[in-house]
Amino acid sequence: MDFYALGTQVIALLQRESRVPYRVLTLQFQLDAETLDTLKDTLIYAKRLAVDEDGRVLVWTRRGDGAGWSAVHVA
């Protein structure tokens, strides 16, 4: 799957669930460690759409800098 298509699906899941454990993301999207780390870096640091909680859970914040994926506008 294309990385940006993956990001769109993960954002939709985060919008719906608000909090998603990294293990669930790994299972749901069949992610390897490198892809999960890249996704985390993108959502947490580059786009500022989520925060990390205790290294175990991705939490949706939608405090983004306006440069998020297009799915941010689709609920």
Q: CATH number for the domain including 60?
A: 1.10.10.10
Residue 29 in any domain: the answer is yes
Q: 44 in helix, strand or coil?
A: helix
Structural domain containing residue 42:
3-66
Residue 30 in any domain: the answer is yes
Q: Using alpha carbons only, what angle is made at residue 64 by residues 63 and 68, rounded to the nearest 5 degrees?
A: 145
pTM for this entry = 0.82
- Look at residue 50 in the predicted model and tell me its pLDDT: 96
What dihedral do alpha carbons 72, 39, 20, 8 form, nearest 10°? Answer: 30
Each of the 75 residues of the chain gets a pLDDT tens digit; together they read 899 999 999 999 999 999 999 999 999 999 999 999 999 999 999 999 999 999 999 999 976 554 555 544 433
Residue 60 CA to residue 47 CA, distance in Å, equals 12
Residue 57 in any domain: the answer is yes
**In total, how many domains does the chain have?**
1
Q: Please list the alpha-helical segments (H only) found in the chain.
A: 3-17, 22-29, 33-40
